Chains A and B, each alone.
Chain A
C-alpha cells in the first residue's frame, strides 16, 4: 500500500470548511448540556420532589444508552411527535422544516446534559458545607449563596472533568453524519469518495480533530490556572 502524502494535504484543505459545523454542534450541545446538567444536578442535590426523580431517571437512561441511539430516537421520534401535536392544536407546523443539524443540536444537548450533570453534581458536592453556612451567616439567601459562593468554587473543581466532556462532545459530534450533517468526518468521507483515498482523508480529519482537541486542552489549562488562583499554596 502506498500513502499519497500530497493528497493528505489536499484533503486537509478541503475539510477545513467543515470545521465551523463541527464547532457549532459541539458548542451548542455543550452550552445547552451545561444548563440541563446544572438543573438536573440541583434537582438531585436538593431532592426536589418529582423533578429530582425525573433527573435521576434521565441521567441513568441517557448514560445507559449510546449517543448514536439518542440521535436516531430524536431523528425518528421527534417529527412524529411534533406533527401529531401540530395537527392537534393547529400550529400549522411541519416537521420537515426542521433543519438536519437541529436534530443533532437537540439530541447531543440531551446526551451532554446527562454526562455534565454528574460532573456538576460532583463539583457541587466537593464544596465544603461550611461555605454555605458561612454565606447564610452573613445573611445571604440560598440563590445568592449558590451564585456567589458555591458555583464559582464548584466550577473551578469541575474544570478538568468539564473539559473532558467538551472533548467528548467534539468527537461525538461526528455521529451527526448519520442524519446527513456534513461535519469534519463526513467531509473527509466525501473528499475521499471521489478518488477512494479514504486512509489519507481520514488522516487529515484525525489531524484536524487532534488540533482542535489540543486547542481545547490549552484553553482549559489557562482557565484552570486563573480559576484556581486561590488554591495557591494548597495541595493542588
Chain B
C-alpha cells in the first residue's frame, strides 16, 4: 500500500502542491488526470523524491518517511521501493537495451551478471523486444525505448511503478504499443500510479481516478464516477476539453 499524507511542495514562492492526501491499495492502478500546471507530475516525482516535498509523509509498503526528517539514507531507501517510467524515456544512452534493464539489478539488487542478464532478457521478451537486446537507445524507436523503460522498472520488482506521461512524447502511431504493454502488466496486479492524458486508457485500465487542479485533488473515485458522472464543474470542463468529439470529420 502507498499512502501520501499532506504533501506540500513549492518552487520558490509558487505553491505547486497544497497538501495532497492519496492512498493506493496494493495491485491498484491509479490514474492522475489534470491540466498542465496542476501539479500531477510534481506529485508523482515527490513519491520517489526526484522532487523534495516541503512537508508531508510518504508511506510505501513497510517504509515510512517523514519529509521533514529525510536524509540521504532515508531518501535512498525510499527510492528502492519504487521505479519510474519517464516521459522522455531516459534510458541510459551508453548502454544497450538489456544493459539498461540489468543496471539496477547489478548495482542495486547485487545480482550476479548471469542472473541479471537472464531476468532482463526475459522481461524484454515480455515487452516484445526479445530481438533487440543489444540495440542502443539511439537505434530504437520511441515506442521501443519506452518499452525498455518499462522493462527496466519491472525488473526492480518495486512496490509501485510510477508512470510520468509515458506516451506524451511518442508519435501517435506508437502510443498503442506502449499502452498495450502497460495494460498487460496492470492485469498482472502490479501497483501503478499513472499520470496521463489518455482518457480511453484511464477508463479501461484504472481502478481509481484522481483529478487534480491548482495543486489540490479536486475529485477522485472510480473511472465510472469521475469520467462519466463528474461531480465537480472543474472536472467536467477539463474532460470536455480533452475528450475527442465523436464522429469527427474534416
Chain A residues close to B by CB (< 8 Å): 128, 130-131, 133-141, 144, 148-149, 152-153, 156, 229-234
Does the CB pair B103–A138 fall under 8 Å? yes
| Chain A minimum-CB-distance residue to B48 | A137
Please name the 9 residue pairs, one residue from A and one from B, whose CB atoms are nearest each other, closest first: A138-B104, A130-B90, A137-B84, A134-B90, A139-B108, A139-B80, A230-B136, A233-B138, A230-B94
Does the CB pair B92–A137 fall under 8 Å? no
Does the CB pair B94–A136 fall under 8 Å? no
Does the CB pair B50–A133 fall under 8 Å? yes
Is B93 close to A, CB under 8 A?
yes
User: Provided the pairs A131-B93, A133-B50, A230-B93 are in contact, do residues A138 and B76 lie with their beta carbons within 8 angstroms?
Assistant: no
User: Provided the pairs A148-B107, A230-B95 are in contact, do residues A136 and B79 lie with their beta carbons within 8 angstroms?
Assistant: yes
10 A–B contacts, CB within 8 A, in A order? A134-B92, A136-B49, A137-B84, A138-B108, A139-B79, A139-B107, A140-B108, A149-B92, A153-B93, A232-B139
> Would you give the shortest CB distance from B165 to chain A, in whole angstroms?
13
Does the CB pair A139–B76 fall under 8 Å? yes
C-alpha gap A231/B93 in the complex (Å):
8
C-alpha gap A188/B165 in the complex (Å):
66
Please count the residue pairs between chain A and chain B whose beta carbons lie under 8 angstroms apart in the complex: 77
Is B193 close to A, CB under 8 A?
no
Residues of A within 8 A of B138 (CB): 230-234
User: Provided the pairs A133-B86, A134-B91, A153-B93 are in contact, do residues A140 and B136 lie with their beta carbons within 8 angstroms?
Assistant: no
C-alpha gap A231/B94 in the complex (Å):
8
Range class of the B interface residue count? 20 to 34
Chain B residues close to A by CB (< 8 Å): 48-50, 72, 76, 79-80, 82-84, 86, 88, 90-96, 103-104, 107-108, 136-139, 152-153, 156
Does the CB pair B48–A140 fall under 8 Å? no
Does the CB pair A232–B104 fall under 8 Å? no
C-alpha gap A233/B93 in the complex (Å):
12
| Chain A minimum-CB-distance residue to B75 | A136
> Would you give the shortest CB distance from A148 to chain B, in whole angstroms?
6
Which of A128, A131, A137 is in CB contact (< 8 Å) with B83?
A137
User: Provided the pairs A144-B107, A230-B138 are in contact, do residues A133 and B90 lie with their beta carbons within 8 angstroms?
Assistant: yes
Residues of A within 8 A of B83 (CB): 137-138
Does the CB pair B48–A136 fall under 8 Å? yes
Residues of A within 8 A of B153 (CB): 137
| Chain A minimum-CB-distance residue to B92 | A149
Which of A138, A139, A229 is in CB contact (< 8 Å) with B136?
A229
Residues of A within 8 A of B84 (CB): 133-134, 137
Does the CB pair B92–A140 fall under 8 Å? no
Residues of B within 8 A of A141 (CB): 72, 76
Does the CB pair A136–B50 fall under 8 Å? yes
